[in-house]
Amino acid sequence: MFYSLKNNKIKLVIGWGQAKRSCGNLKTNGYGVDFSEFYSLSVLQIIIESIKLISNKKVNVVVLTGGDRFSSALFVNQKENNKYDNQRKIIADMLSIDGISKIILMPYGENNVPLDDLNLFINNIPEIDVMDNIKTILLNIDWINILSNNISPHNICIPDGVRYLLNNGWSINDIILMSITSILDESNSEFWIKRVGNKVIFNEVVDFFYLVSIFSTKIYLSIHLMNKIEKVMSRTNLSDAIRLTVHTKKDRNDIPSIYLLGRDGGNRLSQHTCAVFYDKKLHFLTKLEMLLLNKEFKEVYVHDSLFKEGFKSDQPFIYVDKESESYLEDISKYRFFY
């Protein structure tokens, strides 16, 4: 910080992820930006303006978008990821007051770890670490990309059971929903076996998801250990930047963590939530959490004219109380940040 204050500008850097994951509509509606991202970017811009006001210096926050970093583990749809980043850039540019102190989105860069070194790490990842992280990775793999584009992840072929279900009235989202919920909680299996009507096909499909998740978890953990953000900072012009993080890190209290969805949002990220406004308060929830509220919500879509060309999205921008007639006024008065 003191080094930055000696210069004419202050540079912050934060790693902040990939496009949204729908997880069979358990989490979100799809890949696109919604009010969750708008809120998160607003939080970062508030930080920029606050530091600028105190220091009287130019301030930038570089967001390392990370789409390529874990692509070999999560099978990121690069086209959708680029579209998501472009939508975030449009919002970030709009939020900048002077066009100088602003949020800059920068790709993390492809994983450049030598294959032999990576394989060595993969083969030595403890099983307990794999089991501790597999459910998180299961929810972050881009299954829509895999199934829609007939990808064989880690050279594991998509089983015939998937094609059988698709030919018998199932959607890709149905298959993802079945597999994820069955792996997360085995007690859900009985319901899905009855719906499939064939236990062998059910096991074949769920086993595919589980096996891919095991391999992906090993690769993800290996890349995380070998291709750290500090390496990216050292090989770019970010070596003098002040590092921030989107998650509280128990082992790195020296790195300030930013709650991008506010204090109530905690460690949650916009990629995994929808924005929901009810009871005069803004909430960031998964689609499943919204369903469990047993409330009716109205979908609000953004007008094409609100953002410049290139932003257009067919996903709801925010959900509001179905009975609310003053939600725009209420949201406009909502206090950002904390």
- Three-state secondary structure of 96-156: CCCCCCCEEEECCCCCCCCHHHHHHHHHCCCHHHHHHHHHHHHHHCCHHHHHHCCCCHHHC
Query: How far is 65 from 222, CA to CA, in rounded Å?
Result: 19
Q: Which of 336, 287, 337, 292 is nearest to 316 (CA)?
A: 287
Res. 112 pLDDT band, cuts 50 70 90:
low
Query: How far is 130 from 123, CA to CA, in rounded Å?
Result: 11
Read off the pLDDT of residues 194-220 as tens digits, 9 standing for 90 and up: 999 999 999 999 999 999 999 999 999
- pLDDT exceeds 80 at position 2: no
Domain boundaries, the chain: 2-112+227-332, 126-225
Task: Compute the Cα dihedral for 293, 246, 250, 126 and give only its sign.
Answer: positive
Crossing angle of helices 78-95 and 35-55, rounded to 10°: 40
Looking at residue 281, its pLDDT comes to 86
Res. 324 pLDDT band, cuts 50 70 90:
confident
Q: Please list the residues that pair with 244 across neighbouring strands.
A: 14
Q: What totals of helices (H) and strands (E) does the chain contain, helices first?
A: 15, 8
Q: Which of 103-112, 293-302, 311-320 has the lowest mean pLDDT?
A: 103-112
Looking at residue 247, its pLDDT comes to 78
- Secondary structure (DSSP) of 3-56: HHHHSSEEEEEEE---S---TTTTS-SSSS--HHHHHHHHHHHHHHHHHHHHH-
Mean pLDDT score across all residues of the chain: 87
- pLDDT exceeds 60 at position 168: yes
Looking at residue 266, its pLDDT comes to 77
Query: How far is 285 from 275, CA to CA, in rounded Å?
Result: 7
- pLDDT exceeds 70 at position 306: no
Q: Which of 56, 16, 18, 64 is nearest to 40 (CA)?
A: 16
Res. 130 pLDDT band, cuts 50 70 90:
very high
* Burial category of 250 from C-beta neighbours within 10 Å (exposed 0-12, middle 13-18, buried 19 and up): exposed
Looking at residue 143, its pLDDT comes to 97
Read off the pLDDT of residues 77-106 as tens digits, 9 standing for 90 and up: 989 998 899 889 989 998 988 888 899 998
Query: How far is 310 from 60, CA to CA, in rounded Å?
Result: 24
Comparing 8 with 60, which gets the higher pLDDT? 60
Pairing mode, if any, of strands 297-300 and 318-321?
A: antiparallel
- pLDDT exceeds 70 at position 254: yes
Looking at residue 1, its pLDDT comes to 56
Looking at residue 249, its pLDDT comes to 72
Per the listing, tokens 């294959």 go with 115
* Burial category of 57 from C-beta neighbours within 10 Å (exposed 0-12, middle 13-18, buried 19 and up): middle
- pLDDT exceeds 90 at position 252: no
Res. 264 pLDDT band, cuts 50 70 90:
confident
Read off the pLDDT of residues 24-34 as tens digits, 9 standing for 90 and up: 999 999 998 99
